[in-house]
Structure 1
Amino acid sequence: MPNRRTLFAQSDRSSGDGSAEQTGNAMIGKIGIIGAGQMGSGIAQVSAQAGYPVRLLDMSEESLKRAVENIDRGYQRLVARGKLTEDERTAAMARIETARDMAVFRDCDVVIEAATENEQVKKEIFKALVPNLGPATIVASNTSSISITRLAASTDRPGRFIGMHFMNPVPVMQLVEIIRGIATEEATYQSIRELSVRLGKQPVAAEDFPAFIVNRILLPMINEAVYTLYEGVGSVEAIDTAMKLGANHPMGPLELADFIGLDTCLAVMQVLYDGLADSKYRPCPLLVKYVEAGWLGRKAGRGFYDYRGEKPVPTR
């Protein structure tokens, strides 16, 4: 049976006029997002659609422009399928403001970092971010594997810092992993949990261990598929076909790795290997080689498949 807090979160929707709403723990009105890549733009899309004013920041003007175009295309698809009206699409687009200066976050109630999966990069971002925040602002990281406790310790607000790991693609996938660091306050957790529900997502709590729940299970499977390719047990096509037809997976593990990004897969495996000190998490040398070659998957045009032609072709 839903608890009172969940019922409240589902019934009290944002008005979309920029006014903050009381969630019972913190006033969530405006959402800031750092990073206009696939994850950041997806988070912006669902946030604006849910009625929240959004401040989307990236250092690249080109990335911001591409993100806005992708978000609008996403809304247009929803309109075509009858899941959004044209007026709702226009209103949602109007809620998104892009910026290249972190001063834009001064009036945000939560800022979600969705930058590259690199701990030092994230810490540098937080160092630049915190002077531009109000004292009550919550900071959330969309990291898929890095310690929330360590990231929080690099800020001035470990009690108001939390992991909010969306799945890719954000507009489609329903799950959000919520990860508390050792210092995360209960009110911060409850506010982010309620925000997740308001965004139409299903939150699950994960402990602050390397890679959390989903990637702790998923990435070793992908890494094992790469080892299977590396050792010649099967070809790219054979491995993906076997898992789609034999395990009823919607996408083969190597195809999925290309979709995620081989650099991200490698980064997560390295976090698991370093954090858990178990040889079963050692990144496959072939995965390392592909990343070193710049064959990072779909976003680079080549990975375990070559995407530069009319249809993907296996590269091994």
Structure 2
Amino acid sequence: MATQHRPQQPHPVLARAEALVGAGHTEEAILLIRQLAAKGDRDGLFVLARNLWSGGILGSDPVAARVQFELAGKAGHPAARVLATNLLANGIAGSRDWLTALARMPGEVAIDPRRRIQLELLGKMALTPTGEPERCREPERLAESPDVLRFPAFATAAECSYLLDVGGKNYRPAQINDGRGGTRLDPIRNSDEFTIHWLIEDPVVHAINRRIAAVAGIPADHGEAIQLLRYRTGQQYRAHYDFNPQLENQRVATALIYLNHDYKGGETSFVKTPLKFKARKGDLLLFRNTLDDGAVDPMSEHCGMPVLSGTKYIASRWIRAKRYVP
């Protein structure tokens, strides 16, 4: 008879803490979680890390969260171990040690089978010992004003497939901040999106991010987390600027990796120019949103034209003027 695996029950202390939160006794819940973590309990450490990272019932403290993820991983929490390795590889909220992160990955295949695929992809990348690309594709200039470059075959077919797999069933309708601490549907785009946030930015995604940084000539830690975007038939992104006047640390450039080309329509159009770009799978489009003085480039207004048939997938990364990562 096959063994039936039952879902793991939460630690009684954590179950009690959750009940306390539901009853409004947050401070008591926090005390219980911290006491359990202080005993070295892997689940207590993980819950503490998760709340410190997200803000949850605690104030957001990514640096402290990273320490707790590492401790939880060492205590035997499988998910924490994988997340701690991701953070070690990308250097978010602490130091970066690419080689140590890579050395840890084979031991995590049993925890997360995607580690095997990641190791295979990394093995095919020409990387320096610090994870930088050894060489980059030469660009093709598409326009001077706005400043638009195309890097053909920037990502391999296997890398595109991997990013598509990361998106999987995680897409949700595109949203924006509502100004009141919540979100609402984006009024100028009806596409779907999924953010590869810092915790799940695995070494493959991070290596791609560093490749983007290399061709952009801007440090990797200036980039926001990659967003995967999905445009189904009829969906579009109406004319807009990626420049945001409300940002102190401005989005000076945008990088788009086109993950497929088996769709009709969906061109990226710079609406004040004749330039309409239809990419091939793996192409990177890189354009600047600002002028030399930091002001918005009025010619950078662009749109994602409606998809006429099929589904369009892209990976988008906004690049800031200064360091952005925590």
Higher strand share: 2
Normalised to the residue count of structure 1, the TM-score between the two structures is 0.28
Q: Which has the larger radius of gyration?
A: 2
Normalised to the residue count of structure 2, the TM-score between the two structures is 0.27
